[in-house]
Structure formats: structure tokens, C-alpha cells
Amino acid sequence: MEVSALKIIAYGIRDDERPYVEEWSKDQNIEVKIVKDLLTDDTVDQAKGFDGAVVYQQKPYTASVLDRLAELGVKNLSLRNVGVDNVDADAVKRNDIKVTNVPAYSPAAIAEFTVTELMRLLRHTTQYEHRQAKGDLKWTPDIATELNSLTVGVIATGRIGRAAIQIYRGFGAKIVAYDVFHNPELEKEGIYVDSLDELYKQADVISLHAPATKENMHMLNADAFNKMKDGVYILNPARGDLVDTDDLIKALDSGKVAGAALDVYENEVGIFNTDFGSFDAIPDDRLKNLMKRENVLVSPHIAFYTTTAVRNMVQFALNNNKQLIETGKADNVVAFN
């Protein structure tokens, strides 16, 4: 079979992604150049001669990189993730670059992880593990709370939020939700509240699934924490910028927040997905403050990280890039206003 003349370069491909790139390339009969390095000023020239680029990185897609891509004639850019807040919108528009993302690679993966972390908090697993490592096998003093007795406030009811709601309901929890855009089915069930303040007032657990926007920056701050129930639990598998870290630390210190599960962190770029060799070498004192606490679960942005999600991220992005190259349109084009 003759190989298609269409050529795609894929940046930042990890070892766990490579088999899915190769599978797609073989199935589609399209050449895909695999590059382990991220798309940066140092690597952008490797895109010369290609029709499109598939990328994933936490670092910014800077104006200089996007300008150079356009100079090389590469104006089809497909992200293997959801967020586009690290893409220079002005450079995209100036160069007429078409950008796609993968808005739903596996809502279930993130929802399942979020609820798993909540159960660890409610059952005090970290405290028991620490005591058992010292030979202490007593039950007390960490008596658990049952999820079926709690009200969970879900902020944002997109695909991930709705998947989380389904799981919370399986445990018997009461659900209240807030979103600017109401899902028709959830609307019929009457679970929406009119304001975040009302959600804060009712919720024993707050499950964040909102995007990172200017309006949502530090959504959970001192003012928000003050409006919540004493002993509330905070779950953030969404975006680090949604939570003011300093205010969260103060709320943990005061006991206002009983526990938190953070899969994201507002200064995670350059820190998460990095091996520093030792705890002391981690270059962020606030993050280490959180990590030392038995009632805080910090994970390095891994809620998405399942075989299903990784395969979908890779192959959906490649499909999007193919569509852009062939038709100028795609299923998941991002509009930069």
C-alpha cells in the first residue's frame, strides 16, 4: 500500500504514548514523526516539511514558537489535552493557526480518581498508613465519615462533573451543583443552586471540575472558604489556578477545611512530572507544606493517567490534525476570542 503524502510531527511523545501513535500511523497509512522533546524554540525547526503538529506540554506555547511554526508553513496544531490556557492566543490569530484539543479523552478516569481520593480522606488512610509503619495498629482516634451521609457540591457539570455526580450518587451522597450553563437532564432533577454561595453553604464536600478562566482565577479563596461549612473537604482535579494556595493553607491550619485532595497546583509547571531526587529538593515550600500534611493528598496531575485516556488523547489528536490538514476543519477546533 502506498504511503500517504500527508506528514505529521508529534512532539513530547512519552514511551506510554508511542504504541498508540504507531498504531494510528499504521492504520491510517500516514507518516508520523515521533519526537520525545517538547515543542520549544529549540525543537520547532524539526517541524519543517510537515503538514501538521500534534503536541502536549505544560510549558507555554509561546509567540516565538507559534510564529516560527507559521514561518515553516505548519498552521495545523492539535493538542492532546483539554486546556488551551498556555497557548498564546494573539500569536494563533496573527498567524491564522488552527488549533484543536481533546475535550473528553476519559471523563471517567478523572471522576473515578477524584472520588477515590475523597474516600481516602474520609477513611483517613494516610494516618493509618503512617501509624502502621511505626507498629501502631489501633483504630482510634481516626474514626471515618460515610460518604452516603454527606452533601457533595459539584462545581461545573460538564462531562467530568457529570461522571463524578454519577459515582457520588452510587455511594448515596446528596448532590448540589453549580454551573453557568445548566445541563438539561440535571436541570430536570433540580440539583442546581443559584449561586456558589448557596453551594458553599450546603456542601460538606466541594468537587471542582471548572476550566481555568480569568473569571475562575482563585475561585476558592479566603472569602469563599469563610462561606463554607466548618470541616469541609476540597477536591481539585481540574486546574491549579482555581484555588488560592495561601488561603487554602490558612483554612487547613484553622480547621475550616478538614482535608483536601489536589491533583493540580497553581505553580505546577516545571514541578509536576519531574524527579527531584529527594523531598527537600522540591523547589516550592508551599507545595511541600501541603505534602507534609496527613489530611492533604497531593498527586502530580495524574487523574487522567489511564491506558484508555492516553490512547484517546493520542489518537483523537491525530484524527483532529488529519482533519485540519485535509479539510481545514475538525471536530474539536478551539475558538480564540
- Whether residue 332 lies inside any domain: the answer is no
Say if residue 218 is in the same domain as residue 151: yes
pLDDT in tens, 229-243: 999 999 999 999 999
Say if residue 134 is in the same domain as residue 115: yes
Say if residue 147 is in the same domain as residue 180: yes
Q: What is the mean pLDDT of the chain?
A: 96
For residue 1, what pLDDT band results from cuts at 50, 70 and 90? Answer: very low
Domain residues for 198?
107-298
In this structure, the number of other CB atoms found within 10 A of the CB of residue 36 comes to 12
The rounded percent of the chain whose pLDDT value lies above 70 is: 99
Say if residue 132 is in the same domain as residue 114: yes
- Whether residue 337 lies inside any domain: the answer is no
Say if residue 97 is in the same domain as residue 113: no
What pLDDT is stored for residue 49 in this prediction?
96
C-beta separation of 249 from 289 below 8 A = yes
Nearest to 282 by CA among 266, 264, 268: 268
pLDDT in tens, 243-276: 999 999 999 999 999 999 999 999 898 899 999 9
- Whether residue 111 lies inside any domain: the answer is yes
Say if residue 196 is in the same domain as residue 74: no
- Whether residue 187 lies inside any domain: the answer is yes
- Whether residue 334 lies inside any domain: the answer is no
What pLDDT is stored for residue 85 in this prediction?
84
Show Cβ contacts of residue 242 under 8 Å, excluding neighbours closer than 6 positions. 208, 210, 212, 216, 217, 218, 219, 220, 236
If you average pLDDT over residues 11-20, what whole number do you get?
Answer: 97
The rounded percent of the chain whose pLDDT value lies above 90 is: 92
Say if residue 84 is in the same domain as residue 117: no
Show Cβ contacts of residue 320 under 8 Å, excluding neighbours closer than 6 positions. 78, 100, 102, 330, 331, 332
* pLDDT above 50: residue 25: yes
Q: Structure pTM?
A: 0.90
Domain count, the chain: 2
Collect contacts of 268-273 with beta carbons under 8 A, ≥24 apart: 268/58, 268/240, 268/300, 268/301, 269/58, 269/59, 269/86, 270/58, 270/59, 271/300, 272/58, 272/300, 272/301, 273/58, 273/300, 273/301
Show Cβ contacts of residue 8 under 8 Å, excluding neighbours closer than 6 positions. 30, 31, 32, 33, 50, 51, 52, 53, 54, 318, 321, 322, 325
Say if residue 163 is in the same domain as residue 30: no
Residues recognised as catalytic: 239, 268, 301
- Whether residue 181 lies inside any domain: the answer is yes
Lay out the sheet containing 232-236: strands in order across: 174-178, 151-155, 205-208, 232-236, 257-262, 296-298
β-bridge partners, 259: 233
Burial per residue of 224-243, b for 16 or more beta-carbon CB atoms within 10 angstroms, e otherwise: bbeebbeebbbbbbbbbbbb
* pLDDT above 70: residue 107: yes
- Whether residue 314 lies inside any domain: the answer is yes
If you average pLDDT over residues 55-73, what whole number do you get?
Answer: 95
Say if residue 273 is in the same domain as residue 166: yes
Say if residue 100 is in the same domain as residue 113: no
What pLDDT is stored for residue 4 in this prediction?
66
The CATH number covering residue 212 comes to 3.40.50.720
Say if residue 168 is in the same domain as residue 317: no
Say if residue 172 is in the same domain as residue 61: no
- Whether residue 23 lies inside any domain: the answer is yes
